[in-house]
Each structure stands twice: as structure tokens, then as C-alpha cells.
Amino acid sequence: MSKFTLISLLLILLDQISKYLLESSRNFGAAFGILQGWKWFFIILGFFVMGFVLYYKDKVKNYGYYGLVLLFSGTVGNVIDRLVFGYVRDFIDFGFWPSFNLADSFNTIGVILLVIYFWKK
């Protein structure tokens, strides 16, 4: 099993377990609750993102690689939710910010790492 696969599986499992144990809200849209009811758009977009990541995973190094691992894991975690439940399960809520989950955090950190990686490259 590759390092990419192992890390991704662990992160996806962590995301799904945390959502199962802690779900407190349901998001039928995207970030900040926008585009409510666009479930199939986000599922298809998720598969495109997964394909992008799998294509580039062997072409980047260092933190760019881990950015792709995080982006892949977060995308898979939220696509699972959309396919199984029809919405994304959220549970992290600071009150002043829309609620989110670990997959959202993985996606955000992954994109930040990729932006820095490609900007420096």
C-alpha cells in the first residue's frame, strides 16, 4: 500500500468517525451554506478534484504532496457524505463562523499548501 493511500485512508476514516460521533448540523450546499441543493454538481466536482489529485500526486514533492493528500482525503470525505446522506455532516462550530468538519479543514489546509508550493515553484 502506498504512503498516499495509507495516509488518505486514515484521514478519511478519521473524518467519517468524527462526523458519525459529533454531527450537529447538515449542509446541503457548499462553504458558508451557499448553493443549497446543488448536490450532484458537488459530487461531480469532487470526482474531478479526485482525478486531478491522482494525476498530480507523483509530480509534486514535499508539502505539495501532502497538500494533495489532504485535498484528496477531504474531497472523498465530503463526497461520501453527499452520496450516502445527500448532505455534508458538520460539527465544528465556533459560533461566529459557519460550522464545518474535518474534511473541510483538510481541503482548506491542502489548498493552502498547494498554493504555496506552486507559487514558490
pLDDT score for 15? 98
Query: Nearest-CA neighbor of 103 among 36, 42, 34?
Result: 42
User: Which phi and psi (to 5°) does residue 97 adopt?
Assistant: -135, 145
Query: Nearest-CA neighbor of 67 among 111, 118, 103, 105?
Result: 111
pLDDT score for 31? 76
Q: Are 28 and 87 in contact (CB under 8 A)?
A: yes
Query: Nearest-CA neighbor of 43 among 11, 81, 72?
Result: 81
Q: Digits of tens for pLDDT over the chain (121 positions)?
A: 899 999 999 999 999 999 999 989 999 888 777 788 889 999 999 999 999 999 999 999 999 999 999 999 999 999 999 999 999 999 998 988 888 999 999 999 999 999 999 999 7
Bridge partners, 27 (sequence order): 88
Q: Are 32 and 74 in contact (CB under 8 A)?
A: no
Evaluate if pTM is beyond 0.95: no
The catalytic site residues sit at 90, 104
pLDDT score for 29? 81
